[in-house]
Amino acid sequence: MSLLRGSLRKIALRPATRITLIVLLILVVLVYLGLAAVMRALPPDEGGAELEAIFGFPDAFGTLAALLLTFGGLAAAAWAGALAGGEWTWNTFRSAVARGSSRPGYVLWTLAAVALAALVGWLLVFAVGAGAAIAGGAIVGGPVGDPVAAADRLPLLVLAGWWAVSMEAAIGFAVAFIARSQIAGIAVVVALYFGEQFGSIIIPPDLLRYAPVTAANTLVSAAGGPPGTALLAPLAVTTGYLVIAAAAAGLVARRSEIS
């Protein structure tokens, strides 16, 4: 537990953590205000479905989660990758090992702290995003529904979104740690994002659903969808990637020589 405490401290005090969070907060507010401005300019008989999906609750929660997963997943992967790569750049992993710290323990507790920090960030950005959606709905002047009445779907959606973001952060973290490079983590996750987008043209959906970003998106949309939507399969795939990323980082930490 002390390793978790130390990891949380170094994450919380890291400027990149605050900057990433602030950028996401600004981005989500700007996106909603921008969308509201665009929709307000539309003729009254146009954009009804989009208005409902973006500003009308309960659907707005699902749209928000999907939007945040796209921005937040990339940001989390970059941030976690920078953190993991920094352990090599600054030789702090070396210092910990020379003090007799458990190598896999050090890496896995750091990853756990990444996931906890991602939870805090996800909750904060989601709350601000929901507020921006309500404000956007008010600007547009359309029916926004009742966010409080729709809140029964929130816990599952928030948990699913956090789990999906954590998985993407874990991939960024593991790749950066294994490659000993801060940039490698974000590069791989960006490649996955675009690769899966373009891959959808040629890869059959039955195969693509096992890809990490697609699985994360499916998990979030299933959690935000009507009750009874199949959650288990995307949850299993997402969890699988998270476990593989953690195991790979832990294994490499155990075996790596540290120069």
Contact residues toward other proteins (CB under 8 A) are 2-3, 5-7, 9-10, 13-15, 86, 90-92, 94-103, 106, 254, 257-259
**Shortest separation between residue 102's beta carbon and other proteins, angstroms:** 7
DSSP for residue 210: T
SS3 at position 259:
coil
In whole angstroms, what is the distance from residue 240 CA to residue 221 CA? 18
Q: Residue 172 CB: number of other CB atoms within 10 A?
A: 34
Nearer to other proteins, 206 or 257 (CB): 257
Distance CA 239, CA 232 (A): 10
Choose between 139 and 258: whose C-beta lies nearer to other proteins: 258
Nearest approach, Cβ of residue 100 and other proteins (Å)? 4
Nearer to other proteins, 243 or 254 (CB): 254
CB of 176 to other proteins, least distance (A): 16
Q: How far is the CB of 86 from other proteins (least distance, A)?
A: 8
Nearer to other proteins among residue 83 and residue 219 (C-beta): 83
Give the sign of the dihedral formed by CA 205, CA 64, CA 167, CA 81: positive
Report how far Cα 102 is from the mean position of its chain's Cα atoms: 28
Cα(166)–Cα(239) distance, rounded to whole angstroms? 10
Beta carbon of residue 56, minimum distance to other proteins (angstroms, whole number): 43
Specify whether the CB–CB gap between 243 and 101 falls below 8 A. Answer: no
Check if the beta carbon of residue 224 is closer than 8 Å to that of residue 150.
Answer: no
- Please state the closest distance from residue 89 (CB atom) to other proteins, in A: 10
Query: Nearer Cβ to other proteins, position 7 or 214?
Result: 7
CB of residue 115 vs other proteins: minimum separation in angstroms? 18
CB 25 within 8 A of CB 128: yes
**Distances, alpha carbon 73 to alpha carbons 42, 76, 167, in Å:** 31, 5, 9
Nearer to other proteins, 95 or 197 (CB): 95
Q: Which is nearer to other proteins, 44 or 100 (CB)?
A: 100
Residue 43 burial (10 A CB sphere; 0-12, 13-18, 19+): exposed
